[in-house]
């Protein structure tokens, strides 16, 4: 059974490669791998390929602090 041309865009992705996560989030390669190594971003291995499920990426992004609230302090409070 073949898939009609363009239909691939209608199918939700289940997982992404590290370069795709970098493009989607604007994070650099080192930041993505650091989040994985620190246990903040859950990744899977498929052979030698590292993949991040859509669910794991959403959990990671939702766990990040709101802008201006990193470590529970505002930027002005950190300067003091």
Q: What is the CATH number of the domain that holds 25?
A: 1.10.10
Q: Are 56 and 45 in contact (CB under 8 A)?
A: no
Domain assignment of residue 72, yes or no: no
Domain assignment of residue 26, yes or no: yes
- Number of structural domains found in the chain: 1
At 29, is the pLDDT very low, low, confident or very high (cuts 50, 70, 90)? very high
Report how far apart the first and last C-alpha atoms of the chain are (Å, whole number).
64
What are the pLDDT digits (tens) for 32-80?
999 999 999 999 999 999 999 999 999 999 999 999 876 655 555 555 5
Q: Which residue has the higher pLDDT, 11 or 10?
A: 11
Structural domain of 27: 13-65
Domain assignment of residue 7, yes or no: no
Q: For residue 60, give the 3-state DSSP assignment.
A: helix
Domain assignment of residue 3, yes or no: no
């Amino acid at each position: 059974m073949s898939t009609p041309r363009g239909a691939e865009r209608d199918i939700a992705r289940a997982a992404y490669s590290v370069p795709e996560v970098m493009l989607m989030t604007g994070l650099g390669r080192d930041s993505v791998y650091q989040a994985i190594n620190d246990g903040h971003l859950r990744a899977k291995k498929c052979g030698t390929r590292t993949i991040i499920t859509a669910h794991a990426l959403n959990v990671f992004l939702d766990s990040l602090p709101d802008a201006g609230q990193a470590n529970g302090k505002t930027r002005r409070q950190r300067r003091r």
